[in-house]
Homo-oligomer: A and B are copies of this chain.
Amino acid sequence: MRRQLPEIEEFVQGIQAADRVLLGQAITLVESTRPEHQEMAREIIGRLLKQSGVTDSFRIGLTGAPGVGKSTLIEALGLHLTNQQKKVAVLAIDPSSAISRGSILGDKTRMEKLSTSELAFIRPSPSGDSLGGVARKTRESILLVEAAGFDTVIIETVGVGQSEYAVHSMSDVFVLMLQPGAGDELQGIKRGIVEMADFLVVNKADGDNVKLANQARTHYLNATHLLPEKANTWSPKVLACSALEQTGISELWESLELYLKHVKDNGFLETNRRRQASYWLKEALENGLRTMFYNNPVIVNQFETIEKEVLESRISPFAAAEKLLNAFKDNSG
């Protein structure tokens, strides 16, 4: 980042002109913990939203267990798209980034070819104290990359923990990557994640694995038939591909485009985005409320004592809450 931060106006114009340096700096502001940076970021996004309105983008959420080949697939799919002159942004939500300060996508060499493309923008996962914080930053970054003209936004996460739900809550489509393998393939993956998936992509359908991959595909195909119908009325599509050998990639994209048409036609895309915006408003509000409450000096002062009484069963949790809420009411503002 430059010593002197550019002015808001410079950011707004630069991002609209697809200036990658300014875009990157704006995302850095989003990710910053400094209040003045966050305020600047909010101002920039606000100005961009006012000017561009709803953008015609496609937000693709992608998850899969470590080692399933997410980066390789994103690179293959990304190159397939940049070859068609599409502009691809790759963002990530890494739940472990609270500790590791950004591991997935941190290593840009993982997408060596895509990262050198003029038409692609790759950004590692932000770090943060909580998954909620990390997710919020990524959600805001989506707005920035879209304002910079990136029409396809891939949001990656690792298939562990709760981050899949976060990615799902900001994507138009949810892609679950799977490995061919013996036994009950659904075993390792939480049922809820499978139920969210619009696409199940069995990767590594190459070399000795082709037969296994096709078996896995059939298995998942049967499994998805048992799932309840989704709100988008799309029957989950099960595909096999090889990110390494780049087979099945164009089929995947064609199928994703069919999906996009489907949810545009039936109105789900718009309804879903509105629902997501409403969800994020609620999340941001309640997160802000909690922060306001727990940082209130009177609460800071009283909380520990009252919590101790609760833990020792000397007061019920509900009476304790009432006490603290009254103290907050009398001492906020």
Beta-carbon contact of B190 and A316 below 8 Å: no
Closest CB of chain B to A43's CB: distance in Å? 8
* Residue from A45, A280, A319 with most neighbouring chain B CB atoms (10 Å): A319
Number of copies: 2
Give the chain B neighbours of A322 by CB distance below 8 A.
42, 284, 288
A positions within 8 Å CB-CB of B? 42, 45-46, 49-50, 53-54, 136, 139-140, 143, 190-191, 273-274, 277-278, 280-281, 283-290, 292-293, 307, 310-322, 324-325, 328-333
Beta-carbon contact of A313 and B191 below 8 Å: no
Give the chain B neighbours of A54 by CB distance below 8 A.
312-313
Taking CB as reference atom, which chain B residue is nearest A52?
A: B313
Closest CB of chain B to A244's CB: distance in Å? 31
Can you add 17 more A-B contacts, CB < 8 Å, to A45-B319, A288-B325? A42-B318, A42-B322, A49-B316, A54-B313, A136-B318, A143-B316, A280-B317, A281-B307, A286-B286, A286-B289, A287-B321, A289-B289, A289-B290, A292-B325, A329-B333, A331-B333, A332-B333
Closest CB of chain B to A218's CB: distance in Å? 18
Beta-carbon contact of B190 and A318 below 8 Å: no
